[in-house]
């Protein structure tokens, strides 16, 4: 007798399951539209604009926007972001925090179990904590001001939503500065009158036409121009292509001053001037020495346009306090550039029109203010500031700066500030002696040493006793330094809320995790070309929010609803009403200058093209008339010597640019006997910071044994028995990580690179645990650049590395939290 269907399940009565069966998950649907191939929609991103084919509710295909002549390969990673296994699918709360709230065991943060909650419950918990912290402590205990690169889209700008909602509830600690340009943006207003880093620069056509020499100083535009703050146009690449031709024709000499042979240098096939890491200031001081001694500097320019040269030059000639003459020989011993080469370099710069183009990584080191200041001094001595193709730029590698501006107005944004700033639920703005604003990179210091008084940009800051933090589209467990120190700090925080769409390490170290959706799951609008103002782009929603994710707009509206301010928060407008309002505002601002179609047509067409703009020279108006067009410095002139900074009395940032030895430095500097390798953690080539690291297939195009690459020198590798593709343990006194070795001739002895944005994945949450993926900030120094900017010093970092043997721990960075064994 066969096993009959009637004997299987014989003893079970259907009805006994009936009470245990929940509601059905399927209902009747409308007939699907006959859409055999799908629909093409337009959208944008930091990586550029594109068209996406959506079929059966899924993004199937992405192709570059036709106006983009130089699309980045990173478009291939976008689908992987949307469908990443690291997506946060539901609101989650750390289990121990769920049980005990602010009395939870905070040492468990980082790899604790999470429990799923409903949206209502999650927002309730968020709101209750805001209430508790405001009433039990006060505004000084809440820090909800850290920001990141967010996603693109002016309506759904995540930082704006967080700040507006929280500000409508009460006061809190804010920050000043950012991790990108903290030192640079703080020093440059004293020197040239603006931040310089976020300002349009001399147009590329003028540089190509007039410069005879271009100095790329620690600058890799070919790598960095792949991304942009708004929807990136990549218009700069057309000019870089022209530059490449001019280099080949020997019309323009381009010299890359850098320890590393950069992507740009290799693309342009230009010259390389090797320099020891972190020693740019001695090199520049010696250049100044040569210019001065050989009378190659423009005295008339300095007399007319600059202040304080006479107070600065004794430092160079050896007649200053330190009595050290900054000769090329003096500089050679530090920077590794031969004295004669330094002299030749200075002479070359003075000979013809020279354009100096600085990158940002150089100011992300200790005393990062100095190389920027000194660069401006050299430029002033050359006397070409304000001439087309001369002077100095600190931003031609960023967001299409250098592409001429059309002058068109872009769309505004969802407001960051409350409409009625005084009308908060909690009106208490007594910070009890703590500062209400802190330098952005000093928040970990605040948690570890509350009450400590530090100097920052002429003021005294009393670091607040932070109890609760809220992060929205911000990943400090990527961009802040010294992971193990952060772990310590996070033992002290009572409550951490993170809003994001992917399980970053920041989310893993949080208590309440709220799933936002990606920018492709909502409708929005963006400026096409942050500085060129090329156009306006429609960001047409590709698919509905996945899983239980919501837009930032919805999330913070829900929060505002808790304290009765929903209508005020949204101004009574939904998503598309906001998109239209921002568009209409743009139309009004461009009236008479740029013709724009009505909103419906714009949305259907997908974009408005403003074309190209006229050429422009930075500081030309100042040069033309320094009285009328005075710079924004205290005197209105270029300040080689700053009386204001001098009066602050800071040891590590004085009245004029100086060389300060670093806390740690390779190539003969402090600590180099123990840790001989300089670890450079510059912006990645195949990510936007940490964004796109979670795109599995795309990460596979560069990961080595599933880990982040470490680029190393062949000789250094050989000495350590390391072959290309080996796993490497990288370490110093602050931490250790595993990375995959890539031997490259672009890297000189004593230099290694791990790109920042590599997702942190420690083996466990104990302090000192090895990072399994290769996050360089496991090893970096958490110290302010100086008392001026108190900015990040990530590139002041020395390490050693060795071949890793034995069984390598699995990578833990991706896919969400997991419990510790």
Partner 1 sequence: MSEMQQADNWHETRASLYWWLATLFTKELDKDEFKRYSSGEGRDFIQQLAADDELQTGALAMLSALSKLTVLQYPELELAADFSQIFLTDKKAGAPPYASVYRSESGLMMQQPHQDMVNLLQQQGLAVTKDFNEPADHIAIQLDYIGNVIMRDAEQVSPEQIDFIEQQLLSWVPEFATASHKVTNSGFYQGACDLLAQFIKADLADIKAPVASV
Q: Could you give the residue ranges of the DSSP H alpha helices within 352-434?
A: 369-382
- Min. distance of Cβ 40 from partner 1 in angstroms? 19
- Min. distance of Cβ 717 from partner 1 in angstroms? 30
Q: Which residue has the tokens 């890799």?
A: 220
- 17 or 628: CB nearest partner 1: 17
47/64 Cα distance (integer angstroms): 10
- 373 or 503: CB nearest partner 1: 503
Helices 119-136 and 158-169: angle between axes, nearest 10 degrees: 50
Tokens of 26: 């399927």
- Min. distance of Cβ 777 from partner 1 in angstroms? 23
Q: If you ran DSSP here, which 8-state letter would residue 63 be given? A: E
Q: Which residue has the tokens 């769309």?
A: 411
53/59 Cα distance (integer angstroms): 6
- 10 or 321: CB nearest partner 1: 10
Residues 6+ apart with CB under 8 A from 510: 94, 109, 471, 496, 497, 498
Question: Please, what is the Cα angle at 456 between 451 and 460, to 5 degrees?
Answer: 50
204/396 Cα distance (integer angstroms): 9
- 4 or 249: CB nearest partner 1: 4
Q: Cβ(278)–Cβ(260) under 8 Å?
A: no
- 628 or 821: CB nearest partner 1: 821
Helix (H) or strand (E) holding 742: strand 735-743
Q: Cβ(757)–Cβ(687) under 8 Å?
A: yes
- Min. distance of Cβ 3 from partner 1 in angstroms? 6
Tokens of 681: 């953690």
Q: Which of 201, 196, 216, 212 is nearest to 263 (CA)?
A: 216
- Min. distance of Cβ 691 from partner 1 in angstroms? 18
- Min. distance of Cβ 15 from partner 1 in angstroms? 8
- 186 or 506: CB nearest partner 1: 506
- Min. distance of Cβ 57 from partner 1 in angstroms? 7
44/156 Cα distance (integer angstroms): 13
- Min. distance of Cβ 5 from partner 1 in angstroms? 5
Tokens of 622: 């100042």
- 155 or 546: CB nearest partner 1: 546
671/693 Cα distance (integer angstroms): 32
- Min. distance of Cβ 764 from partner 1 in angstroms? 13
Taken in order 66, 68, 69, 71, the sign of the CA dihedral is negative
What are residue 742's phi and psi, to 5 degrees? Answer: -125, 110
First to last CA, the chain: 50
- 471 or 503: CB nearest partner 1: 503
Q: Cβ(519)–Cβ(60) under 8 Å?
A: no
- 58 or 261: CB nearest partner 1: 58
- 87 or 667: CB nearest partner 1: 87
Q: Cβ(200)–Cβ(405) under 8 Å?
A: yes
- 181 or 551: CB nearest partner 1: 551
CA Rg, the chain, in Å?
Answer: 28
DSSP for 333-360, written as a single string? HHH---HHHHHHHHHHHHHS-EEEEE-S
- Min. distance of Cβ 523 from partner 1 in angstroms? 18
Residues that bind partner 1 (CB under 8 A): 1-6, 8-22, 24-29, 31-32, 56-58, 80, 83-87, 89-90, 92, 95, 98-99, 113-116, 546-548, 696-697, 810, 814-819
Q: Which of 270, 818, 735 is nearest to 483 (CA)?
A: 735
Q: Which residue has the tokens 């093409």?
A: 40
Report the b/e string of 434-452 with b at 16+ CB within 10 A: bbbbbbbbbbbbbbbebee
- 79 or 426: CB nearest partner 1: 79
- 92 or 413: CB nearest partner 1: 92
- 18 or 628: CB nearest partner 1: 18
- Min. distance of Cβ 518 from partner 1 in angstroms? 14
Q: Cβ(474)–Cβ(146) under 8 Å?
A: yes
- Min. distance of Cβ 547 from partner 1 in angstroms? 6
- Min. distance of Cβ 702 from partner 1 in angstroms? 17
Tokens of 557: 């509206």
Query: Distance of CA 656 to CAs 9, 374, 523, Å?
Result: 87, 8, 49
- 244 or 522: CB nearest partner 1: 522
- 57 or 632: CB nearest partner 1: 57
- Min. distance of Cβ 118 from partner 1 in angstroms? 10
- Min. distance of Cβ 818 from partner 1 in angstroms? 4
484/128 Cα distance (integer angstroms): 30
- Min. distance of Cβ 471 from partner 1 in angstroms? 21
């Amino acid at each position: 007798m066969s096993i009959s269907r009637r004997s299987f399940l014989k003893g079970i009565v259907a009805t006994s399951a009936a009470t245990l069966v929940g509601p059905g998950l399927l209902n009747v649907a409308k007939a699907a539209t006959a859409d055999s191939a799908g629909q093409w929609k337009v959208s944008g991103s930091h990586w550029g604009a594109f068209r996406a084919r959506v079929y059966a509710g899924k993004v199937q295909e992405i192709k570059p926007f036709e106006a983009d002549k130089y699309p980045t390969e990173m478009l291939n990673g976008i689908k992987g972001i949307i469908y990443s296994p690291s997506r946060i699918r539901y609101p989650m709360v750390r289990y121990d925090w769920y049980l005990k709230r602010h009395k939870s065991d905070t040492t468990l943060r980082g790899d604790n179990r999470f429990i799923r909650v409903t949206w209502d419950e999650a927002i309730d918990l968020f709101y209750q904590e805001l209430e508790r912290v405001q009433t039990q402590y006060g505004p000084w205990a809440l820090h909800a001001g850290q920001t990141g690169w967010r996603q693109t889209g002016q309506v759904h700008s995540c930082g704006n939503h967080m700040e507006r909602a929280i500000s409508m509830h009460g006061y809190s600690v804010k920050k000043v500065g950012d991790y990108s340009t903290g030192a640079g943006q703080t020093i440059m207003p004293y020197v040239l009158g603006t931040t310089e880093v976020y300002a349009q620069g001399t147009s590329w056509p003028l540089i190509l036409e007039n410069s005879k020499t271009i100095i790329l100083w620690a600058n890799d535009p070919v790598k960095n121009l792949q991304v942009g703050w708004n929807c990136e146009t990549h218009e700069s690449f057309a000019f870089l292509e022209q530059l490449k031709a001019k280099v080949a024709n020997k019309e323009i000499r381009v010299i890359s001053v850098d320890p590393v042979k950069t992507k740009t240098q290799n693309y342009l096939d230009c010259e390389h001037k090797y320099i020891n890491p972190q020693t740019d200031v001695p090199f520049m001081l010696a250049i100044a020495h040569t210019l001065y001694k050989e009378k190659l500097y423009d005295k008339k320019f300095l007399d007319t346009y600059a202040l304080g040269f006479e107070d600065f030059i004794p430092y160079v000639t050896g007649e200053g306090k330190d009595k050290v003459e900054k000769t090329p020989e003096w500089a050679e011993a530090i920077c590794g550039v031969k004295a004669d080469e330094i002299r030749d370099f200075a002479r070359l710069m003075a000979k013809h029109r020279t354009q100096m183009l600085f990158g940002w990584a150089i100011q992300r080191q200790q005393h990062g203010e100095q190389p920027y200041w000194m660069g401006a001094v050299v430029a002033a001595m050359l006397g070409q500031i304000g001439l087309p193709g001369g002077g100095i730029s600190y931003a031609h590698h960023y967001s299409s700066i250098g592409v001429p501006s059309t002058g068109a107005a872009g769309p505004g944004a969802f407001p960051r500030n409350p409409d009625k700033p005084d009308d908060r639920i909690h009106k208490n703005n007594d910070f009890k002696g703590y500062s209400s604003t802190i330098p952005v990179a000093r928040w970990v210091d605040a948690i570890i040493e509350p009450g400590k008084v530090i100097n920052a940009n002429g003021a005294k800051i009393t670091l607040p006793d932070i109890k609760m933090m809220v992060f929205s589209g911000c990943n400090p467990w990527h961009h802040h330094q010294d992971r193990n120190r952060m772990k310590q700090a996070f033992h002290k925080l009572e409550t951490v809320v993170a809003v994001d769409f992917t399980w970053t390490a920041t989310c893993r170290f949080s208590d309440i995790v709220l799933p936002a959706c990606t920018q492709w799951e909502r409708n929005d609008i963006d400026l096409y070309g942050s500085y060129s103002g090329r156009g306006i782009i429609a960001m047409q929603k590709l698919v509905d929010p996945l899983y239980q994710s919501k837009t930032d707009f919805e999330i913070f509206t829900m929060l505002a609803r808790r304290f009765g301010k929903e209508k005020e928060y949204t101004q009574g407008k939904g998503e598309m009403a906001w998109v239209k309002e921002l568009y209409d505002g743009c139309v009004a601002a461009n009236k008479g200058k740029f013709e724009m179609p009505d909103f419906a047509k714009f949305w259907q067409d997908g974009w408005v093209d403003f074309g190209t703009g006229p050429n422009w020279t930075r500081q030309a108006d100042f040069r033309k008339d320094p009285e009328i067009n005075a710079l924004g410095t205290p005197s209105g002139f270029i300040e080689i010597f700053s009386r204001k900074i001098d009066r602050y009395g800071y040891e590590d940032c004085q009245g004029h640019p100086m060389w300060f030895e670093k806390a740690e430095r390779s190539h003969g500097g402090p600590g180099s006997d123990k840790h001989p390798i300089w670890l450079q953690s510059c912006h990645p080539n195949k990510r936007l910071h940490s964004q796109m690291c979670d795109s599995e297939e795309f990460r596979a195009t560069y990961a080595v044994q599933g880990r982040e690459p470490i680029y190393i020198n062949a000789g250094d590798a050989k000495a350590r028995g390391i072959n290309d593709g080996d796993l490497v343990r990288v370490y110093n006194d602050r931490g250790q990580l595993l990375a995959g070795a890539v031997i490259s001739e672009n890297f000189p002895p004593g230099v290694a690179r791990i790109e920042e944005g590599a997702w942190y994945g420690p083996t466990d949450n104990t302090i000192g645990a090895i990072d399994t993926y290769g996050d360089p900030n496991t090893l970096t120094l958490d110290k302010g650049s100086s008392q001026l900017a108190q900015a990040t010093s990530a590139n002041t970092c020395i390490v050693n590395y060795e071949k890793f043997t034995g069984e390598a721990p699995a990578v833990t960075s991706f896919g969400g939290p997991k419990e510790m064994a």
